[in-house]
Amino acid sequence: MTAGLRLRPIGIVRSRFREPSDLPPPAFAPPRFFERSTGEIEVFPEFAAGLDGLEGFSHILVIFHFHRAGGPKLEVVPPGESKPRGVFATRSPHRPNPLGLSVLRLLGREGGRLRVSGVDLIDGTPVLDIKPYTSRDRKSHIRTGWLQKQRRPAR
C-alpha cells in the first residue's frame, strides 16, 4: 500500500465560468447547455509533446483538481434532492481525494492548446491528466440509480 501520492498540474482550464456558482447542476441546465459550452485546456509547454497523436480522437477524458471544493464529506445532498447520498454515488466536488472527471469533445489542437466543448469546469481549474476516450469507455444499457428519478436526465 502506498502512503500517498503527490500530483502536480500539467495544465489549466480556460473557461467562461468564473465561479463554481456559474455552473448549473447538469440535471437543471438548459438542454444542450454543456454541449455548447466551449473553452480551452492550456497544457504547460514542458508537457505539450505528450499530446502528439491526440488530434485523431473526438473526445478526451480530463482528470482535474476540484481546487475550489472546500473540505471532503462522506455524504452530500445533490442539487434538487432532499436525501443525502454517499459522495462516491455522486459527482460532487466534496470528495476524500478532490479529483474531477469530465468527458470533453476535442475540437482542435494548436501546440499545447486544446479547444474543447462540453466544458463544465471553472476557469483556472488545474488539469492533472488527459486521456483519449475509447470504445471501452462507452457503455450501453446503463442504469443510473437515483439520478434516473431526477426531473431532467443528466446529460
Identify residues 22-61 at the interface with a copy of itself (CB under 8 A): 26, 34, 43, 47, 49-59, 61
Minimum Å gap between C-beta 127 and a copy of itself is 9
Is 82 near a copy of itself (CB under 8 A)?
no
Instruction: Using the minimum distance from each CB to a copy of itself, give the nearer residue, 54 or 115.
Output: 54
Rounded to 5 degrees, φ, ψ at 126 are -75, 130
Q: Which amino acid is at 8?
A: R
The closest of 130, 140, 145 to 57, measured between CA atoms, is 130
Footprint on residues 96-155 left by a copy of itself (CB under 8 A): 96-99, 101, 103, 105, 124, 126, 128-148, 153-155
Minimum Å gap between C-beta 13 and a copy of itself is 11
Cα angle 76, 138, 94 (rounded to 5 degrees) comes to: 15
How far apart (Å, rounded) are the C-alpha atoms in residues 29 and 37?
12
3-class secondary-structure state, position 81: coil
Instruction: Using the minimum distance from each CB to a copy of itself, give the nearer residue, 70 or 86.
Output: 86
Paired with 115 in beta bridges are 40, 108
# residues near a copy of itself by CB under 8 A: 74
